[in-house]
Amino acid sequence: MGQRLQREYRVPTNLLIVDDNEEHLDLMVEILKEDTRYNLYKAASGEEALEVVADNDIQIVILDVVMPGMDGYEVCRQIRREYRLKPIQIVMISGFNHKNDLDELLELGADDFISKPITALELQARLKAAVIRLRDQTKVFGAIEEDAHSEGKNLSTLVAENLQLRQEYQKVRRINEELQESCHQLEQLASLDTLSGLLNRRTLFKRIEIEIERTGRLDWPLTGIMIDIDHFKRINDNFGHQCGDLVIQEIGARLNRSLRKYDYAGRYGGEEFFVVFSNTDAATAQTISERFRTDMQQTRFTCGDENFTVTVSIGVAQFTPGESPGRWISRADGAMYKAKQRGRNQVVVS
């Protein structure tokens, strides 16, 4: 029989966790054991899970899909068949991410799913959503029962009709979530330069306008740097455009790895890059730029049979309140050209 683990809350929710993997089962119990909103039960097999549901007023079931013997699909199917008049929430645990697999879970009667590997944050969030659905569906079942009495219909018939509507709603919800995710991905792709992986020029200028507005509102410093690859034409001429592309890709990757989440980098031109440092003064940006310049100088590129090094020239300009975006960028660009004139491979502050 399933082991009852906790009962310390005024009106706790009875929660059953089902997983044949003892380590995974213990992990979920460990995450939830101090949460007094739940009475925890656990089961290590599908057969044991059905016994626990039969002997206790289980309201939420967290159910692993892949188990020996009776798998999660069959457990879900039997719970829905045997307890169709109860609003039990079933949250499936699945390593699947293919749409057909998720559709099958929902068609079986699952209310939601948790992807592997399980994290505490997602587990708690999914359970919170399950409790909300449980509360709402309990009200719906109560209303259905009242309708059944008033209309003289069989209660199970009305419940079955509503369950079918719920499953159709879940399918539509899943499709909408997928569409939203696809739109988000398309928006990201449209905002990026395909070669460097940084913001493209159009998106970079939009971000610059946003950061200028923010720095004026919050009264903090804003600094930009212009990075230019030294002798980039020679790289293309001597080693080929594929090697030149490799350098641009590497600079983009390094900038993406090193920037804070509130800094932004974009490809300004062919071999030029502009970086926006929020809440950063020129002295700090100069230090960051020197570190980046040194790292690039010490990097050896291998492209086919060719080995070569690359240097960059960098101009730093702190934004002056009241100046236009074009003027600010022009000052950073001018400082970068001074670095070129002074011999390249150096940082100059406007």
Q: Judge whether 132 and 110 are in contact, CB under 8 Å.
A: no
Q: Judge whether 6 and 38 are in contact, CB under 8 Å.
A: yes
Contacts of 219 (CB under 8 A, 6+ apart): none
Are 52 and 165 in the same domain? yes
Are 238 and 313 in the same domain? yes
Are 151 and 244 in the same domain? no
Tell how strand 272-278 and strand 264-267 pair up. antiparallel
pLDDT above 70 covers what percent of the chain?
79
- The pLDDT value given to residue 141: 63
- The pLDDT value given to residue 279: 92
- Specify burial of residue 323 (Cβ count, 10 A radius: 0-12, 13-18, 19+): middle
pLDDT above 60 (res 121) = yes
Are 174 and 284 in the same domain? no
pLDDT above 60 (res 172) = no
Per the domain annotation, does 193 fall within a domain? no
pLDDT above 70 (res 162) = no
In the listed set 188, 212, 237, which residue is the last one of a domain according to the structure?
188
Average pLDDT, the chain: 84
pLDDT above 70 (res 26) = yes
- The pLDDT value given to residue 9: 39
Say whether 54 sits in a helix, a strand or coil.
helix
Are 184 and 215 in the same domain? no
Which tokens sit at 187? 């928006």
Over its C-alpha atoms, the chain yields an Rg (Å, rounded) of 30
Q: Residue 17 pairs with which residues in a beta bridge?
A: 42, 62
H helices, E strands: number in the chain: 11, 13
> Which residue in 74, 82, 161, 271 is the catalytic one?
271
Residue 3: phi and psi, rounded to 5, are: -95, 120
Q: What is the DSSP-derived secondary structure letter of residue 344?
A: S
Q: Looking at per-residue confidence, does 162 or 85 come out higher?
A: 85
The tens digit of pLDDT for each residue in 227-244 reads 999 999 999 999 999 999
> What is the rounded distance in angstroms from the CA atom of residue 75 to the CA atom of residue 68?
12
> What is the rounded distance in angstroms from the CA atom of residue 209 to the CA atom of residue 59?
51
Per the domain annotation, does 195 fall within a domain? no
The tens digit of pLDDT for each residue in 66-112 reads 888 898 889 998 998 888 778 899 998 876 554 555 666 667 778 88
- The pLDDT value given to residue 87: 83
pLDDT above 50 (res 276) = yes
pLDDT above 70 (res 161) = no
Contacts of 23 (CB under 8 A, 6+ apart): none
Look at residues 188, 261, 277 and name the one whose alpha carbon lies nearest to residue 226.
Answer: 277
Say whether 14 sits in a helix, a strand or coil.
strand
Are 35 and 181 in the same domain? yes
pLDDT above 90 (res 140) = no
Which sign, positive or negative, has the C-alpha torsion 341, 344, 348, 350? positive
Residue 249: phi and psi, rounded to 5, are: -60, -40
The tens digit of pLDDT for each residue in 312-342 reads 999 999 999 999 999 999 999 999 999 999 9
Instruction: Return the CATH number at 173.
Output: 3.40.50.2300
Per the domain annotation, does 325 fall within a domain? yes
- The pLDDT value given to residue 324: 94
Are 180 and 247 in the same domain? no
Are 184 and 41 in the same domain? yes
Reported as a pLDDT band with limits 50, 70 and 90, residue 138 is: confident
- The pLDDT value given to residue 146: 60
Containing 317, the helix (H) or strand (E) segment is strand 312-318
Of 23-27, 258-262, 307-311, the one with minimum mean pLDDT is: 258-262
Domain that holds residue 260: 201-349
In the listed set 165, 188, 211, which residue is the last one of a domain according to the structure?
188
Are 174 and 208 in the same domain? no
Are 25 and 150 in the same domain? yes
Question: CA 282, 287, 289, 293: dihedral to nearest 10 degrees?
Answer: 150
The tens digit of pLDDT for each residue in 35-76 reads 889 999 999 999 999 999 999 999 999 999 888 889 888 999
Which tokens sit at 202? 């159009």
Q: Residue 277 pairs with which residues in a beta bridge?
A: 223
Q: Please give the model's pTM, rounded to 2 decimal places.
A: 0.51
Number of domains in the chain: 2
Reported as a pLDDT band with limits 50, 70 and 90, residue 7 is: very low
Are 17 and 106 in the same domain? yes
> What is the rounded distance in angstroms from the CA atom of residue 227 to the CA atom of residue 211?
19
Residue 271 catalytic? Answer: yes
In the listed set 129, 153, 188, which residue is the last one of a domain according to the structure?
188
Max mean pLDDT among 63-77, 165-179, 267-281 falls in 267-281
Reported as a pLDDT band with limits 50, 70 and 90, residue 136 is: confident
> What is the rounded distance in angstroms from the CA atom of residue 31 to the CA atom of residue 186?
36
Residue position matching structure tokens 């969030």: 125
Residue 248: phi and psi, rounded to 5, are: -60, -40
> What is the rounded distance in angstroms from the CA atom of residue 314 to the CA atom of residue 312?
6
